[in-house]
Structure 1
Amino acid sequence: MARSEAVTVETYLAALPPARREALAAVRSLVLRHLPAVYEEAMAWGMIGYGVPLSRYADTYNGQPLSYLALAAQKNYLALYLTCVYMDPVREAALRDAFAKAGKKLDMGKSCLRFQTLDDLPLLYLGQLVASLSVDAYIRLYEKARRR
């Protein structure tokens, strides 16, 4: 399931095989427990997305809500997309360090963490990372990165 046509998160999750659904639902639960106020969950780009609503910040390059993070079931792996890590070398270094300290193998693209099971992830650190940026702080980070 690379790109989904699901309109709701529930429909997206229901379409997954049980093991993948359970793992993605567990990461979703972690995200929802730690997600700062104002960010909204919605289907975006065929994935479960979390972003800044346009009513709060409309000056995005594509006219879509500013993406904070996303979850997806790709063809060969599950993915947690962390835009805040992609835009911030300090956060990326901290993420790499958290994986090393937890003894976990980091499988990462520009902004995505690829995983098969929950055991592949340092969940405590990821919860802290999700909680680490208020909407205002994230907008400042986005605007700084956009000026580069």
Structure 2
Amino acid sequence: MQSKATTPEQYLAELPEDRKQAMLKLRNAIKDNLPKGFEEVISYGMLGFVVPHSIYPAGYHCTPKLPLPFINLASQKNFIALYHMGIYGDKNLLDWFVTEYSKCAKNKIDTGKGCLRFKKLDDIPFELIGELATKISVEDWITMYEYNWKSRTK
């Protein structure tokens, strides 16, 4: 469900009460741990943490007018979704996350391509998400993005 919000604060204010605390806690876990350079915006109707054009002028190859996405966070109909492009682009990071998740979670991990779905709000591993946010710097993300994108276009 894409929001029509234009700011992160508006997005959060529009959340249903049963989701608001978990979303705020996830947002803070990410914001408090992201390396310098990422910027919080509304991206694709969700909370987004992006590499701004001031750092990466080329923007996102699909839509260059948009900044390079890195992490998105959304309240969907039946779950909270965390989209982390780093775990989509780096198998070692994904393997690390899956291993660590199994140590702290009660349920099996529910994933898609770069997407983590949290259906039970009490099972969200906030500290682990915070640690995941520390794993890739802006520079590392740009390098990984360019490598993965260019290798697909060859």
Place the TM-score, normalised by the shorter chain, in its bin: over 0.9
What one-letter code is carried by the residue in structure 2 that aligns with 1:125? L
| 8 Å Cα contact 2:83/2:114 also seen in 1 | yes
Q: Confirm or deny: 8 A CA contact 1:39 1:53 kept in the other structure.
A: yes
The residue number in structure 2 matching 1:32 is 31
Unmatched tracts of structure 1, length 5 or more: none
Choose from 124, 129, 149 the match for 1:126. 129
Consecutive unaligned residues of structure 2, counting only runs of 5 or more, are none
TM-score normalised by the chain length of structure 2: 0.89
Q: Which residue type is aligned with residue 93 of structure 2?
A: R
Q: Which of 61, 73, 76 lines up with 1:74 in the alignment?
A: 76
CA distance in 2, matches of 1:133, 1:82: 11
- Two-structure CA RMSD over aligned residues (Å): 1.3
Q: Aligned-pair distance for 1:100?
A: 1.3
Equivalent position SS for 1:80: strand
Give the match's secondary structure for 1:34: coil
Would you say how many aligned residue pairs link Structure 1 and Structure 2?
147
Q: Is 1:100 paired with 2:102? A: yes
After superposition, where does 1:43-58 map in structure 2 within 5 Å? 43-58=42-57
Q: Distance in 1 between matches of 2:120 and 2:34?
A: 21
CA–CA distance in structure 2, aligned partners of residues 147 and 48 of structure 1: 27
TM-score by length of 1: 0.93
Give the fraction of aligned pairs with identical amino acids, expressed as a percent: 38
